[in-house]
Amino acid sequence: MVRMVSDHVPSRGAAASARRLIPRAAQELVTRALGRSPVVAIVGPRQCGKTTLARQLVPADSPNYFDLEDPVSLARLDQRLTAL
């Protein structure tokens, strides 16, 4: 199980929802998994840091980034041979 934890950093204004990540082994585990396989699924409960972790490793606009809740990403996966 991969677990990401963040602690809330109090701030003012628009940045009030900003969070600072507490370093965890998750990034290293995913990086090693990507060395073994071109596809790695990051799964876990809601708001545990899956998207944050993925975006630390691959930019969201990269053709190698898939968000399975995003209709555009799902449409790209319909073309399986060209998506990967």
Fill in the DSSP letter of residue 23.
Answer: P
Q: Tell me, what's the pLDDT at 7? A: 40
Asked whether residue 46 is assigned to any structural domain, the reply reads: yes
Sign of CA dihedral 50, 68, 45, 28: negative
DSSP 62: S
Query: Mean pLDDT across the chain, nearest whole number?
Result: 76
In angstroms, the CA 80 to CA 84 distance is: 7
Domain range holding 69? 6-83
* Cα–Cα distance, 59 to 46 (Å, whole number): 21
How many separate domains does the chain show?
1
Q: What is the pLDDT of residue 23?
A: 62
Q: Is residue 1 part of a domain?
A: no
Q: Is pLDDT larger for residue 18 or for residue 43? A: 43
Residue 18 domain-assigned (yes or no): yes
H helix intervals, 1-84: 26-36, 50-57, 71-78, 80-83
Query: How do residues 38-65 score in pLDDT, each as one tens digit?
Result: 889 999 899 888 988 998 888 878 888 8
User: What is the pTM for the complete model shown?
Assistant: 0.61
